[in-house]
Amino acid sequence: MTALERNLCLVDWIEITPEDSLLNQLTFTWPFRISSIVENSEAKLRRAKDEALGHLSALQTDLSERMDLLWIRAKRQQGLSRMQLSDANANVRELDQLRTMITNLAEEAS
């Protein structure tokens, strides 16, 4: 006996209230309604994933560009083999800034 046949049999023997009838209808139509709910949820998840991946890609690009700039600055400092004493303080400040920036980038990357 199928669910529909059982339901029709019950109708013959008991009085079904409008609320019971509505709940029964919801139960029988649930398999048809759930697929659209699942599809909508999957679409939302795909959009959220695409958005998160785009954001991550932008962060990676930004981090890579900043690392490249730091590399250029570090190489420039490496090339300063001879300097005047007056330049030494500025170079020390520059190296301190580079160290701080590299530390910050390393923390961001992890």
Domain ranges of the chain: 3-109
| Nearest CA-CA partner of 24 in 38, 41, 37, 11 | 11
Percentage, residues of the chain above pLDDT 90: 25
Q: What is the pLDDT of residue 14?
A: 81
Total residues belonging to the chain: 110
- The answer to pTM > 0.75 is no
